[in-house]
Structure 1
Amino acid sequence: MSGVFAPAPGRAPRRTVVASQIRMELTLTARRGEAVVLAMGVPLLVLLGAGLTEATNVPGDDRLAFVVPGVLALTVMSTAFTGQAITTGYERSYGVLKRLGASPLTRSGLLFAKTAAVLGLIVVQLITLAAVGLAVGWRPHAGAILPALGVTVLATAAYSGLALLMASRLRPEATTGAATLIYVLMLAAGGIMFAAPDLGTFGWFVLPLAAHAEALRATLSYGASVPTAIWLSLGAWAVVFVTAAARTFRWE
């Protein structure tokens, strides 16, 4: 009989559930305007301060060629790791994740949604910072964008995996302290705004921020290929921490 209401209860397709969570993550991020400003503000100050003044010692004659790619890498870490770890830690503490765990959203779906939302935010941030770099005189190689994007996706996955792993295992206060400490140490030792000791290939495996920054310099500033060791380093970080987060992530 036409016109009769016939409900069809059932679980929504996984892609629909994950897409809905991605939209929610982006909406919540947009509401935390102060966090977005902070994530953009620090890298922007580093770019302008170290790129346009002699405040720091950088190798070579082209300061912007060294500083701008480093700042782009720093932005990825700031958003995908520090911001992600702190936000997720408090969501777990407030019981938000526990409620999501009772929904059709799976653990892997939540991790994917959070990483995808962070990646979307990072794209906006990188475009903005690259535009500022262009405005002040940075001249990147447009033909090297694809490998630069590749290493950036790997770095985002690695940082997001580590952030979610920490947020699900530590108290939010401990997560905040550990994430901030790691961020500061990476900034100090990663050669972002000043020349750091050259640790060679070993340094790329220990300091993913340094590996990412060097990859962006090689591609965007100098039009060279990404060293194989950097691909291996960022790939290893991504596989290890994404896998660890997927296996051990706790809702509460």
Structure 2
Amino acid sequence: MSLDLTPRPGASDRRDRIAQHARIELAMLLRNGEQLLLAFVIPVGLLVGGMLFGDRFGLDRTTFPASVMALAVWSSSFTSLAINTAFERRYGVLERLAATPLTRGDLIAGKAQATITITAVQVLALTLLALALGWRPNPPPMVSLVTWPLVVLAAFAFACLGLVLAGRLEATVVLGLANLVYLVGAAGGGLVVPLSSYQDAVRPVLALLPTAALGEALRGWATGQFTWWAYPVLGAWCLVLLFVARKAFRWTS
């Protein structure tokens, strides 16, 4: 039997390309100290402080851990991804990837897949820590079943938003802007602070934001309620931001 050494150039299957790219992205995220700070250290610090001393500030021990989980999803899916991708673009990493079979859609899907994976690890770690600190949510199984897919939708929408910024602006601009948007979304976007704490006039507007949809969905889950309106809000944001990211993203500076 002869050995066939005939070259067969060609791209691998699209699902394999995306999976391999997601694996590399995940490994890079785990090696980056700044990303780990946003992903784990800050949420863990807030969770521990809130569960131990939150009673002094009127924090609800049932919903506060859910708010911290929403913040963790926001930090990793948007801020970390935007900054990391912007500097990859600045230093020519993405320009080299453009020479591979990866398309814009593959790049977005791979990064989003890696982000969703790290987000799942974050949420699991925060859940276990909160339970150890005395958190006792009691959601019905059906509420859990229909709520947790919203976290995936939110992470995907945030990732697309981060890629829009990273794909159009200079890295230093993205660094400042992403951190600013992170703080605004956390403090004033309904992510950590419940919508019930805002004035009646602004609640309908805030409810249309993906940050508020995620925050309210997780807080509702913690109290056994299903926030049905979060699905159309996050679904619409996913479609719009995916379209914009695919059109606006540039491989080079």
Residue 150 of structure 2 contacts residue 214 of structure 2 at CA under 8 Å; is this kept in 1? yes
The letter of the residue matching 2:165 is: M
Which residue, out of 40, 65, 70, partners 2:67?
A: 70
Deviations 1:99-132 (A, max 9, x none): 1011111110000000000000000010000101
Name the Cα RMSD after superposition: 1.8
Residue 147 of structure 1 contacts residue 226 of structure 1 at CA under 8 Å; is this kept in 2? no
Residue 207 of structure 2 contacts residue 213 of structure 2 at CA under 8 Å; is this kept in 1? yes
Q: Which residue in the other structure is 2:26 paired with?
A: 26
Residue 89 of structure 2 contacts residue 95 of structure 2 at CA under 8 Å; is this kept in 1? yes
> How do 1:51-200 and structure 2 match up within 5 A?
51-53=51-53, 54-58=55-59, 63-140=60-137, 141=139, 143=141, 144-189=143-188, 190=190, 192=192, 196-198=197-199, 199-200=202-203
Which residue, out of 204, 211, 217, partners 2:207?
A: 204
Give the superposition deviation at 1:16.
2.0
Give the superposition deviation at 1:191.
5.6
Residue 211 of structure 1 contacts residue 233 of structure 1 at CA under 8 Å; is this kept in 2? yes
Going from structure 1 to structure 2, the CA distance change for 1:96 and 1:137 (only over 3 Å counts) comes to: same
Residue 86 of structure 1 contacts residue 167 of structure 1 at CA under 8 Å; is this kept in 2? yes
Q: Give unmatched runs, 5+ long, in structure 1.
A: none
- How far apart, CA to CA, are the structure 2 residues paired with 1:131 and 1:4? 54
- TM-score, length basis structure 2: 0.90
- How far apart, CA to CA, are the structure 2 residues paired with 1:193 and 1:45? 17
Please state whether the residue corresponding to 2:57 is helix, strand or coil. Answer: coil
Q: 2:224 matched to 1:227?
A: no
- How far apart, CA to CA, are the structure 1 residues paired with 2:36 and 2:128? 17
Q: Give unmatched runs, 5+ long, in structure 2.
A: none
Residue 64 of structure 1 contacts residue 133 of structure 1 at CA under 8 Å; is this kept in 2? no
Deviations 1:152-176 (A, max 9, x none): 1111111001000000111011111
- TM-score, length basis structure 1: 0.90
- How far apart, CA to CA, are the structure 1 residues paired with 2:111 and 2:98? 14
Going from structure 1 to structure 2, the CA distance change for 1:29 and 1:73 (only over 3 Å counts) comes to: same
- How far apart, CA to CA, are the structure 2 residues paired with 1:175 and 1:23? 24
Residue 78 of structure 2 contacts residue 161 of structure 2 at CA under 8 Å; is this kept in 1? yes
The letter of the residue matching 2:86 is: G
- How far apart, CA to CA, are the structure 2 residues paired with 1:115 and 1:37? 19
Q: Which moved more, 1:19-28 or 1:86-95?
A: 19-28
The letter of the residue matching 2:74 is: M
Residue 71 of structure 2 contacts residue 191 of structure 2 at CA under 8 Å; is this kept in 1? no
- How far apart, CA to CA, are the structure 2 residues paired with 1:97 and 1:85? 13
- How far apart, CA to CA, are the structure 2 residues paired with 1:227 and 1:11? 41
Paired residues in the alignment total 245
- How far apart, CA to CA, are the structure 1 residues paired with 2:40 and 2:140? 23
- How far apart, CA to CA, are the structure 2 residues paired with 1:180 and 1:33? 16
